[in-house]
Amino acid sequence: MFKSMLIKEFLLVIRDKHALAALFVMPAVFILIMSLALKDVFNEQKAMLSLAIVDQDSSETSQEFISSIQGNKLINSKLLNVDDHKGVDQQNVQFLILILEGYEQEENKQLQIQVASDVSQTVLLLFKAQMMQIIMQQKLASLHSLQQSRAQQMGFDIPDAVDINENDIMNIQYAKLSADEKPTSTQQSVPSWIVFGLFFVIIPMSTIFISERKQNTLMRLSTMNITIPALFAGKIIPYMIINQLQVWLMIAVGMYIVPLFGADALTIGGSVTALIVISFALSLAAIGLSILIATVVDSVEQATTIGGILNVLLGAIGGVMVPKFVMPEFMQEFANISPMSWGLEGFLDLFLRKGNLSDVLNEVLALTLFGLVLLFIAAIIFNIKIRKVS
């Protein structure tokens, strides 16, 4: 019996181009795009600030300041002519630094800085920190050279200033990763889009289920002694297999396709068994939600609209669209109501934190319980509806 149901569901999904696009193409494309778009987020060598400089002072101090900026790997800079009066927006940079005449001579002469209107607070803070670092080093160097010349006048030597390198004073290591490992955009984006993609079974599943209900195929199956649990099992098993195909296809995209476009390849750091277990649990949650929607709504149009909206909402709340770590604290708490968040946390434990089964057990239990409760509610509603139709 299940073999027949399995073959039937596979044939119906394979022949539905929209379903194939939603289940396999869309998440794979998302993984590719997001991995490439975010590939520099974890790249410390990548310039993150862009600025233009107008040097009206043309002094030794201003030249030193400019060369320090030009030597900073986090900053892309360009030097403008003094008669260039275009503002920061026209220069197509984030910041415009104007070094006024008298910068070297007058102690309280401020740098004039224009900030582009689309610069975030985080970028502004980073800019300030970099400027402070450059100016402080300049001031320290000047103080040191003053002390050196005074010491020479007094007939003794003091040692040269030591260059301060961040690697000499800080050892940065990501939790649960080895010393030379860093999280990559691929490790971050693949779990998100696996979770999102799995929930897209809502569309083909509810479409087929509603058609079966509308055409009285389900009623016919009831007269053939097919019980509601058997009927639901006949849906759950094929879609769990389809979900597994999705998971491994998306992992393959992350491992083999994404690197072809210059982004980092995905690696499965954690336990593969745990990965299979959590993807089955997530699958059960997605299928439970799909069957509930399919039993509650009355048309395919309603199912695709409600299913689509719900998917995007759960994704947005659950940290798929915007990572949870950039959300404010109350939103991070709120994100926990979304089953996508539970699934995502589980996948991140495995992909990012090299976790094992015990690390994802809470997520597995929560997702399984969520799926079972929804299936139970769906069975009750379905039973009432099929009796009404009869």
Residues at the contact surface with other proteins, assessed by CB under 8 A: 1, 3-5, 7-8, 11-12, 15-16, 211, 214-217, 219-226, 234, 386-387, 390
Task: Supply the minimum distance, in Å, between the C-beta of residue 301 and other proteins.
Answer: 17
* Cβ nearer to other proteins, comparing 78 with 387: 387
Residue whose CB is less far from other proteins, 117 or 225: 225
Residue 307 CB, nearest approach to other proteins (Å): 19
| Shorter beta-carbon distance to other proteins: residue 234 or 315 | 234
CB nearer other proteins, residue 234 or residue 371? 234
Which C-beta is closer to other proteins: that of 16 or that of 101? 16
Residue with tokens 């068994």: 273
Shortest CB 20 distance to other proteins, Å:
13
Q: Which is nearer to other proteins, 146 or 230 (CB)?
A: 230
Least separation in angstroms between residue 385's CB and other proteins is 12
Alpha helices in 154-216 (DSSP H): 166-169, 185-199, 202-214
Q: How far is the CB of 205 from other proteins (least distance, A)?
A: 14
Closest contact distance (angstroms) between CB of 196 and other proteins is 26
Residue 85 burial (CB count, 10 A): 9
